[in-house]
Structure 1
Amino acid sequence: MDRIRIGLVGIGKIARDQHLPALNQGGDFDLAATASRNGRVDGVEAHETVDALIAARPDIAAISLCTPPAGRFEQAMAAIAAGRHVMLEKPPAATVSEAEALAEAARAKGVTLFATWHSREAAEVDAARGWLADKAIRAVRIMWREDIRQWHPGQDWILAPGGFGVFDPGINALSIATRILPDPLVVLSAELAIPENRACPIAATIAMRCGTAPVAVDFDFLQTGDQTWDIEVDTDAGTLYLRNGGSRLELPGAEPMQGPNAEYPRLYARFAELIRNGESDVDLRPLRLVADAFLTGQPTPAPAFEF
């Protein structure tokens, strides 16, 4: 099949760490141009805005947006209005209503919209889902603790309004949980630790329920040393441990399974499949859980934070 020309918008850390290496592996896409106020890719045509990219390159069929969620709505709408297929880095938008409006606009225009959840593409997520499918869930523990200074150095936007705070990495855990658990997750209560000089939480604890099973969630953006990205599920057949962001699976009575990291190549392969099938994939369950945590959350003061 013919390769698809794609434009990459937002040449920041996530684009350089993940999107560019995935696109450089070959696959279904040719990176034809970029749009970014500050970043450039050697040897690739560059524009400052998505509007300029769209106007200059009518041959580009797809746009991948790697910009922060606040402000991404207008960029995605511009691409959809121009008849381009759109791939959204997670979180897909700053609000649920923005994401829903994008999905409706893509349907009306007849283009593909792909709201990505890269952690669902971790090596052992599908195996975990398969094992849990016929199990009775007793309890779930989600622990997602990482160092904001390591993964988001100097990125003040992440603690500003619309930046999600600790829910930016935390939504990765929720994307896995909504993928592997057989029953819907429901938020019961939340406690949000918000630094006195910031708008978004730097830590959060959330009580949820999956069917009748309790779900305890612990998000922390201030963990140094070893990072923790683990989900534990107690079942009638023993406890499942999904570790390292979904790349390591430990099941009762079995040797641990550890797969390679191929999250972003798998995302781009899925995007190409959706385009060729004339389909969209916009699962907003993780985003709704974050919105519910903010709605039910009790703010608690935390010390001022500086990068």
Structure 2
Amino acid sequence: MNKIKIALVGVGKIARDQHVPAITGNPAFELVAAASPNHKLDGVQNFPDVQALLAGVPDLDAVAICTPPQIRYDIARFALEQGQHVMLEKPPGATLNEVSALVDLAQRKSVALQATWHSREAAGVEPARRWLANRNVRSVQVTWKEDVRVWHPGQTWIWKAGGLGVFDPGINAMSIITRILPGSLVLRDAELAFPANCEAPVAATLRLTNEFGADVRMDLDFLQTGPQTWDIVVDTDDGRLTLSKGGSILRLNDDPLIEAPDREYPNLYARFADLVHSSRIDVDVAPFRLVADAFMRGRRVVVEPFVE
């Protein structure tokens, strides 16, 4: 089978840190080009935008879009219209309607479209889902706290409308709980802390419930210094399940069950290869809906200005 010729659109930190090694480490793909108005990727053809990219590489098969979410829709739409298979970094767009429109277009064009939730690929997530499927969940505590200055240095887009602020990492936790918890989640209330000089929140607390009455609390913070915290603790009628370090470590009643190295992006690209070969769509917007609900219903409080 011929290799899938793929290009990156957007050559920022996530593209260099995660997408490039995942692509080059997968024999199903050949990374042939990149598009960015400000950056270039060594060893491939480089173009200023997606239009120039597709004109300059006519035999391209697929694009992975790693731009800020505010501009992702127009890029993805153009690529799909040209018959390209498309992978979308998370979140898959700036609005739910954007994503819905892309799904409709991919269906009409009979091409693959993947909305990636990399945290679902952490080693402990699927075992956690299987274990919880046969148990009654009583309560869930999500603590997702990291330092924006470490993970997004100088990236001002994250504080603009549509950049999501603390929900850029927080949606990773949402992608996990919407995968592992039985039943649909409903937002009960939320509080979002907006720096006085930003259009997106720096911290948030959310309270949700599922259809079985489990209480789910989320504490999100984008100014955590020192050790970073990505933990989900689930209390059930049969003991406690803990996912830590973003889902890479699974414990049952404090006993280690799974601890595995990061394979999140390699797993995503293995899945994308399957989608491309069968021209299928994999777009789950459940995590994105929770973020939208938080913005719609959450109380907004103004806090100190953010300083890089």
TM-score, normalised by the number of residues in structure 2: 0.98
The superposition leaves residues 54-85 of structure 1 with CA deviations (integer Å, 9 ceiling, x where unpaired) of 11112111010000100110000000000000
Residue of structure 1 equivalent to 2:193: 193
Residue of structure 2 equivalent to 1:42: 42
Letter of the 1:29 partner, please give it.
F
Q: Distance in 2 between matches of 1:148 and 1:167?
A: 11
Residue of structure 2 equivalent to 1:210: 210
The superposition leaves residues 285-306 of structure 1 with CA deviations (integer Å, 9 ceiling, x where unpaired) of 0000000000001000110011
Residue of structure 2 equivalent to 1:56: 56
SS at match of 1:164: coil
**CA 191–253 in structure 1, closer or farther in 2 if over 3 Å, else same:** closer
- Structure 1 unaligned spans of 5+: none
Residues 251-260 or 132-141, more deviating: 251-260
Residue of structure 1 equivalent to 2:231: 230
Residue of structure 2 equivalent to 1:22: 22
- Structure 2 unaligned spans of 5+: none
Q: CA deviation at 1:31?
A: 0.4
Q: Distance in 2 between matches of 1:119 and 1:52?
A: 32
Letter of the 1:136 partner, please give it.
N
Correspondence 1:266 to 2:279: no
Residue of structure 2 equivalent to 1:157: 157
Letter of the 2:288 partner, please give it.
L
Q: CA deviation at 1:259?
A: 0.9
Residue of structure 2 equivalent to 1:105: 105
Q: CA deviation at 1:177?
A: 0.5
Letter of the 1:68 partner, please give it.
P
Q: CA deviation at 1:255?
A: 3.4
Letter of the 1:80 partner, please give it.
L
RMSD: 0.9
**CA 172–253 in structure 1, closer or farther in 2 if over 3 Å, else same:** closer
Residue of structure 1 equivalent to 2:240: 239
Residue of structure 2 equivalent to 1:72: 72
Deviating above 6 A after TM superposition, structure 1's stretches of 4 or more consecutive aligned residues are none
Residue of structure 1 equivalent to 2:2: 2
Q: Distance in 2 between matches of 1:14 and 1:103?
A: 24
TM-score, normalised by the number of residues in structure 1: 0.98
Q: Distance in 2 between matches of 1:255 and 1:78?
A: 46
Q: Distance in 2 between matches of 1:107 and 1:283?
A: 15
Letter of the 1:169 partner, please give it.
P
